[in-house]
């Protein structure tokens, strides 16, 4: 049995973009003086790319939380997160919960959605039991471990958290079906004892993922919990299971309990009280019968809900007099800054930043590139390929990947003054414009027809390989369906008989250093078909760079979503722009030197050179 579901280091993945719930969790963390945020990541299926970021406040500072499109990627990236808070709709709550339960790292799942079919709830419960995991919900607001971790909107606003003394642990274990009532009970318990240690709302559906008894047995086994409070209700037999547990000695700690819904006995039969499970189908499912059965086995049952707080206080004071209550480490919780909308009305403002940067940070003593200090990069003489890996991929690349990137930069540095980018840069420089204007005019010409085919070549070859297309079918598809020449195929000068040495160098490198190269292999089969039609329809250097880069990403272990994100972000064309900019600047410097030398000549020499 897992005695404690949460602690001060617990981290959660949140399925569904719930801005307020996320911020409330982080605000709770802050007033509890947690060292790290409890939200590790957010799943947003509608996210455009594989990964995005959400800005949040950590006290008065801004931090970012990664957003993923798929749960599997978030689980892979955050193995230390063992809780999933599932805000997905009742239509998708079942598959997302099942996926989480089948993940090794997820131990607890809170299912917020209402209206999940009972059969699906039973299947989720069965899978959780078989794997030794815990489901809170469905139809729950969640739960809380005071001073440690809270689920979503549990306990309401931060003001209510402070009033209910939930920023530090008390001695009471509380469990309820109702989320709304649990918020009220947190406050009531704080006013009649030293407060809640852990509180769980199991949800009001007929088939909950965990029962009232499940959590009471955890509290029974937890030496930090000295007494228990439970709020049951009309409908179901879960409270009778508690009666039996008290009878057979599984529950020995003082338990104060009340089942709401006693008014049902004077109302028409079959009436449901809010929750799906709050409807008595037999006499034993009525609130009155349950309260009577609980009292008979020694549970502390008040005469009415109005007396609930008094019974809690009596029980707590008795334990305190017996010396069974440990002193509470009380402290003044940190003051939480007001949000902008509220603070602006009072003239107290905290303003979020306009831009988020996740690749570098120069706020400390040493500038950081993706978490690596610039001093280390310089002192260890790290390569340009290594630095590009940090700034473009946010990771330290292996040596062969660094070498490939540097080779690409060298191969694309200059293709001569006649290509469009260099030509435009030269003309602009000769016109006397500055470096940046000259460089920009050249870069702006780069596109699918002039040097920018790297991304498009990778895009279409990846689609073909992913679909398992045959090379001949791919050639026909590009001609008859897409209606364009295959990006990365074709050269004005080079041919089968006069191969491009740059392509040869790329292929030699890939075959030597890459463990697998399915995209290059496929492209070479396509080349056989195209060169059979015309001998200059070869795989050109731009296409080869992009296609081999796909194989590099595969060898680095990137997921399909991450690779697609690289393509969509035009990172591949970025390699070409980086290399070509080096060559363009060389042309610009050359033209500026020539122009300066021209102005230094005497007029008669200028006229003479012009005439010749």
Q: Is a pLDDT exceeding 90 seen at residue 55?
A: yes
CA-to-CA dists, residue 424 to 442, 504, 585, angstroms: 5, 29, 12
For 481-503, write each residue's pLDDT tens digit: 999 999 999 988 999 999 999 99
For the chain, how far is it from start to end, CA to CA, in angstroms?
95
Q: How confident is the model at residue 612 (pLDDT cuts 50, 70, 90)?
A: very low
The per-residue b/e assignment along 514-535, b for 16 or more CB within 10 angstroms, e otherwise, is beebebbebbeebbebbbeeee
Nearest-angstrom CA–CA distance, 102 and 127: 8
Nearest-angstrom CA–CA distance, 586 and 560: 38
As given in the structure block, the two tokens for residue 176 are 């309820």
pLDDT value at residue 122: 95
Q: Is a pLDDT exceeding 50 seen at residue 187?
A: yes
Q: How confident is the model at residue 281 (pLDDT cuts 50, 70, 90)?
A: very low
Given a contact cutoff of 8 angstroms between Cβ atoms, the answer to whether 546 and 457 are in contact is: yes
Instruction: Confirm or reject CATH 3.40.50.261 for domain 12-321, answering yes or no.
Output: yes
Instruction: Give the pLDDT mean for 571-578.
Output: 85
| Percentage of residues of the chain with pLDDT beyond 90 | 67
pLDDT value at residue 278: 45
Which of 532, 530, 540 shows the shortest CA–CA distance to 499? 540
Q: Where are the alpha helices (DSSP H) in 43-107?
A: 71-77, 93-101
Given a contact cutoff of 8 angstroms between Cβ atoms, the answer to whether 25 and 57 are in contact is: no
Q: Is a pLDDT exceeding 50 seen at residue 280?
A: no
pLDDT value at residue 265: 54
Hey, which residues does 232 pair with through a beta bridge?
259
Q: How confident is the model at residue 591 (pLDDT cuts 50, 70, 90)?
A: confident
The superfamily (CATH) of domain 446-569 is: Cytochrome P450-Terp, domain 2 (1.10.230.10)
> Other C-beta atoms within 10 Å of 539: how many?
27
- The dihedral built from the CA positions of residue 187, 192, 197 and 200, taken in this order, carries a sign that is negative
Residues in the chain: 612
For 513-555, write each residue's pLDDT tens digit: 999 999 999 999 999 999 999 999 999 998 999 999 999 999 9
As given in the structure block, the two tokens for residue 77 are 């990236």
Nearest-angstrom CA–CA distance, 68 and 45: 7
Q: How confident is the model at residue 279 (pLDDT cuts 50, 70, 90)?
A: very low
Hey, which residues does 259 pair with through a beta bridge?
232
Q: Where are the alpha helices (DSSP H) in 106-237?
A: 118-130, 158-163, 179-192, 212-221
pLDDT value at residue 575: 85
Please state whether the peptide bond connecting residue 138 to the residue before it is cis, i.e. omega within 30 degrees of 0.
yes
Q: Which helix (H) or strand (E) holds 582?
A: helix 571-600
Instruction: Give the pLDDT mean for 75-83.
Output: 97
For 403-458, write each residue's pLDDT tens digit: 999 999 999 888 788 777 888 888 888 888 888 998 888 888 776 665 557 888 99
SS3 content of the chain, % helix, strand, coil (to 5): 50, 15, 40
**Half-sphere exposure of residue 543: CA atoms within 13 angstroms, side-chain side:** 24
Which of 445, 414, 432, 440 shows the shortest CA–CA distance to 591? 432
Given a contact cutoff of 8 angstroms between Cβ atoms, the answer to whether 283 and 240 are in contact is: no
For 225-254, write each residue's pLDDT tens digit: 999 999 999 888 889 999 999 999 999 999
Calculate ∠ Cα 18-119-75, nearest 5°: 40
Contacts of 563 (CB under 8 A, 6+ apart): 462, 550, 553, 554
Instruction: Give the pLDDT mean for 280-294.
Output: 81
**From 275, 491, 517, 519, the catalytic residue:** 275
Nearest-angstrom CA–CA distance, 305 and 421: 80
Domain boundaries, the chain: 12-321, 369-412, 446-569
For 327-349, write each residue's pLDDT tens digit: 998 999 999 887 777 777 777 77
Instruction: Give the pLDDT mean for 141-151.
Output: 97
pLDDT value at residue 449: 62
More confident of the two residues 396 and 419: 396
Nearest-angstrom CA–CA distance, 279 and 235: 4
For 36-45, write each residue's pLDDT tens digit: 999 999 999 9
Q: Which long-range contacts (CB under 8 A, 24 or more apart) does 305-311 make?
A: 305/258, 305/260, 308/188, 308/256, 308/258, 309/188, 309/191, 309/192, 310/192, 311/256
Given a contact cutoff of 8 angstroms between Cβ atoms, the answer to whether 358 and 394 are in contact is: yes
CA-to-CA dists, residue 12 to 34, 69, 446, angstroms: 14, 16, 44
Q: Would residue 519 show up in a list of annotated catalytic residues for this protein? A: no
pTM score above 0.85: no
Given a contact cutoff of 8 angstroms between Cβ atoms, the answer to whether 474 and 482 are in contact is: no
As given in the structure block, the two tokens for residue 200 are 């769980």
């Amino acid at each position: 049995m897992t005695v404690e579901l949460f602690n001060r280091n617990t981290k959660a993945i949140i399925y569904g973009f719930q801005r307020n719930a996320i911020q409330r969790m982080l605000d709770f963390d802050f007033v509890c003086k947690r060292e790290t945020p409890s939200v590790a990541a957010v799943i947003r299926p509608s996210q455009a790319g594989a990964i995005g970021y959400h800005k949040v406040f950590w006290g008065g500072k801004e931090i970012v939380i990664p957003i993923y499109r798929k749960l599997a990627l978030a689980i892979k990236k955050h193995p230390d997160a063992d809780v999933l808070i599932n805000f997905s709709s009742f239509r998708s709550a079942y598959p997302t919960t099942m996926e989480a339960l089948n993940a090794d790292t997820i131990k607890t799942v809170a299912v917020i959605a209402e209206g999940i079919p009972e059969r699906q709830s039973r299947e989720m419960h069965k899978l959780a039991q078989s794997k030794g995991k815990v489901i809170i919900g469905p139809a729950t607001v969640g739960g809380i471990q005071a001073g440690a971790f809270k689920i979503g909107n549990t306990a309401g606003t931060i003001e209510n958290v402070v009033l209910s003394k939930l920023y530090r642990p008390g001695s009471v274990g509380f469990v309820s079906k109702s989320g709304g009532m649990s918020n009220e009970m947190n406050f009531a318990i704080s006013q009649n004892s030293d407060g809640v240690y852990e509180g769980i709302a199991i949800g009001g559906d007929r088939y909950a993922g965990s029962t009232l008894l499940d959590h009471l047995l955890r509290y029974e086994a937890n030496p930090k919990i000295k007494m228990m409070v439970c709020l049951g209700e009309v409908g179901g037999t879960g409270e009778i299971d508690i009666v039996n547990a008290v009878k057979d000695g599984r529950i020995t700690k003082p338990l104060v309990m009340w089942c709401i819904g006693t008014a049902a006995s004077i109302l028409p039969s079959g009436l449901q009280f809010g929750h799906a499970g709050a409807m008595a189908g037999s006499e034993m499912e009525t609130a009155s019968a349950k309260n009577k059965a609980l009292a008979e086995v020694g549970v502390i049952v008040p005469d009415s809900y109005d007396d609930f707080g008094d019974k809690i206080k009596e029980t707590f004071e008795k334990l305190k007099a017996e010396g069974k209550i440990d002193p509470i480490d009380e402290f003044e919780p940190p003051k939480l800054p007001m949000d902008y909308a509220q603070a602006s009305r009072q003239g107290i403002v905290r303003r979020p930043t306009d831009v988020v940067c996740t690749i570098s940070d120069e706020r400390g003593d040493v500038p950081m590139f993706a978490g690596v200090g610039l001093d280390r990069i310089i002192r260890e003489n790290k390569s340009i390929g290594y630095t590009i890996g940090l700034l473009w991929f946010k990771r330290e690349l292996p040596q062969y990947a660094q070498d490939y990137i540097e080779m690409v930069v060298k191969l694309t540095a200059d293709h001569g003054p006649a290509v469009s980018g260099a030509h435009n840069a030269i003309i602009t420089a000769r016109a006397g414009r500055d470096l940046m204007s000259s460089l920009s005019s050249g870069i702006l010409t780069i596109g699918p027809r002039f040097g920018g085919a790297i991304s498009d070549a990778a895009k279409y070859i990846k689609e073909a390989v992913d679909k398992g297309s045959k090379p001949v079918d791919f050639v026909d598809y590009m001609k008859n369906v897409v209606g364009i020449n295959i990006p990365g195929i074709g050269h004005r000068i080079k041919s089968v008989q006069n191969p491009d040495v740059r392509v040869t160098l790329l292929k030699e490198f890939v075959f030597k250093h890459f463990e697998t190269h399915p995209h290059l292999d496929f492209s070479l089969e396509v080349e056989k078909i195209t060169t059979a039609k015309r001998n200059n329809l070869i795989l050109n250097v731009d296409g080869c760079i992009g296609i081999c880069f796909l194989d590099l990403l595969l060898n680095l272990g990137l997921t399909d979503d991450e690779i697609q994100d690289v393509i969509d972000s035009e990172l591949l064309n970025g390699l070409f722009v980086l290399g070509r900019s080096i060559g363009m600047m060389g042309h610009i410097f050359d033209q500026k030197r020539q122009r300066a030398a021209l102005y230094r000549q005497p007029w008669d020499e200028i006229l003479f050179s012009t005439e010749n």
